[in-house]
Amino acid sequence: MTEDESFLYRPFGPSIFKVTIPEKMIQDLNNYVDKIIKDEEKLKELDNGSRLAGQVTQEFKLESEFMKKIGWGDFLAQSTKKWIELHVRKKISKFNMLSSWIVRQFKNEYNPTHWHGGHISGAGYLKIPKNLGKPVQETKKNNERGKLQFIHGSRMFLSSSCFNVTPKVGDFYLFPHYLMHQVFPFSDTDEERRSISFNAEIDENIFNVYGKS
User: What are the respective helix, strand and coil percentages of the chain, to the nearest 5?
Assistant: 25, 30, 45
Pairing outcome for strands 120-127 and 193-202: antiparallel
- Cα angle: 122, vertex 128, 132; to 5 degrees: 115
Length of the chain measured in residues: 213
First to last CA, the chain: 42
The answer to whether residue 165 scores a pLDDT higher than 60 is yes
The domain over range 7-204 is classified in CATH as 3.30.110.40: no
Tens digit of each residue's pLDDT (9 = 90 or more) over 170-187? 999 999 999 999 999 998
Domain boundaries, the chain: 7-204
Average pLDDT, the chain: 90
